[in-house]
Amino acid sequence: MDCFRHYCHVKYHNELTDISCLYIYSELEMTIHKSIALIGAPADTGGRQNGCLMGPDALRTAGISDILCNMGYQVDDLGNYSATPTAEIRHPNSSVHHLADYAALISMLGAFCRDSLATDQLPIFMGGDHSIAAGFLPSLAQKAAEDGREQFVLWLDAHTDFQTLESTDTGNLHGTPVAYIIGDPAFEGILPSPICPIKPENICMMGIRSVDPAESARIRKTKIEVHDMRAIDEFGVALPLKAFLNRVRAVGGRLHVSLDVDFLDPEIAPAVGTTVPGGANFREAHLIMELLHESDLVTSLDISELNPFLDERGRTANLIVDLVASLFGRQVLDRHTRSL
């Protein structure tokens, strides 16, 4: 790949004001690897705690564009996309809330992926709570299928997010996207059907440590690969991740990485409404990202559940941006001590 002097170009398009472009000039000699699209999805109706709608802007403030740009990527920030429900949707489970918002979000992000996502760009969806995954993943799977490829998903999360509209006690829809994307019939007739369901055997979960007994029983009946924290304690992250990546590589699959902030231990990542102790530590998280980069298999990413309202002087947002840098190729020796 050619190295050349280039103008590192970050476009920021605000859909409301249709103004503002930021150009950053870099004199570094860099290698252009790929073009990346940042898509803000400031949704926070999937839980009861407000604040995830600020997630995309916290990641921007933490410098997600600049850090990728300085590593040699072309970054296009496509701005924020949100959905407005048109009509109320009810479900017999009275605890379920914001169902119409979920349906609108799924439709909007699905249409965005189908119609607006350039094929040569790697999308990073910046949530927003984890319900956003129900919107773009079926469309990403459809695009993969059109290329004759299978869609795989690495789900990094404290929870399996395998609730259905019937099973959820809390009614929080950010706990349902995995059940939705595999085409669980419990959503039929209420939400738009996933345009291309993800095969359960193509989903690998890591970091799991908070699962309802009923949810656990249902997920065991699927072929979803689940590595809970107990398994990570015993075997580490590298072995199971490499085995999964080998499966993706063997069939030439496309790989989406879904990073829920609660995957990380709350000691290092407090900015999340659903903290569960005993999560992935700093090095485990970075090692996962480094291995993903080395695999050269990742085709899309989302960052979900970042709630800047709960953060401590931006340290969770900064950590997430550091992890994204590792995923895109920054190595331990490239890291500079921050003096902010």
| Closest to 159 (Cα-Cα) out of 176, 143, 146, 142 | 176
Q: Show the site string, 18-57: x = touches Mn ion by CB under 5 A, - = not.
A: ----------------------------------------
- Note if 265 is an active site residue: no
Closest CA relative to residue 199, chosen from 240, 159, 149? 149
Q: How far is the CB of 268 from Mn ion (least distance, A)?
A: 17
Span near Mn ion by CB under 5 A; candidates 149-157, 188-196, 218-226, 240-248: 149-157
Min. distance of Cβ 177 from Mn ion in angstroms?
A: 7
Beta strands in 239-305 (DSSP E): 254-260, 298-304
Element (H, E) at 136: helix 133-146
65-99 exposure pattern, b = at least 16 Cβ within 10 A, e = fewer: bbbbbbbbbbbbbbbbbbbebeeebebeeeebbbb
Distance CA 255, CA 124 (A): 12
Q: Which of 159, 227, 256, 286 is catalytic?
A: 159
Catalytic one of 97, 98, 130, 286 = 130
Query: By rule CB under 5 A, what string of x and - marks binding of each residue 82-121 to Mn ion?
Result: ----------------------------------------
- Distance in Å, CB of 178 to Mn ion, minimum: 8
**Mask: binding to Mn ion, 161-190, rule CB under 5 A, as x and -?**
x-----------------------------
Q: Considering only residues 44, 157, 184, 284, which one is a binding residue for Mn ion as defined by CB under 5 A?
A: 157
Q: Is 228 a catalytic residue?
A: no
> What is the CA angle 20-319-198, rounded to 5?
85
Report if residue 260 touches Mn ion, rule: CB under 5 A: yes
Strand, helix or coil for residue 285: helix
- Cβ 161 to Mn ion shortest distance, Å: 4
CB of 83: closest distance to Mn ion in angstroms? 19
**Shortest CB 133 distance to Mn ion, Å:** 8
Near Mn ion by CB under 5 A: residue from 98, 130, 218, 227: 130
Number of residues that bind Mn ion (CB under 5 A): 4
Sign of the alpha-carbon dihedral angle for 333, 325, 66, 316: negative
Among 141-149, 225-233, 254-262, 315-323, which window interacts with Mn ion (CB under 5 A)? 254-262
Degrees to nearest 5, angle at CA 193 with 190 and 194: 140
Rounded-to-integer distance, Cα 319 and Cα 274, Å: 18
Is the torsion defined by CA of 262, 265, 269, 272 positive or negative?
positive
> Is 227 an interacting residue with respect to Mn ion (CB under 5 A)?
no
Strands 35-41 and 74-80: parallel
- Options 79-87, 127-135, 312-320, 331-339: segment touching Mn ion (CB under 5 A): 127-135
Query: Does residue 174 carry a catalytic annotation?
Result: yes
Choices 74-82, 93-101, 129-137, 312-320 (CB under 5 A): range interacting with Mn ion:
129-137
Secondary structure of residue 23 in the 3-state scheme: strand
| 57 is a catalytic site residue | no
Q: Chain centroid to CA 115: how far?
A: 20
Q: Which helix (H) or strand (E) holds 249?
A: helix 238-250
Query: Which residues form the catalytic set?
Result: 130, 157, 159, 161, 174, 260, 262, 305
- Residues that bind Mn ion in the complex, under the rule CB under 5 A: 130, 157, 161, 260
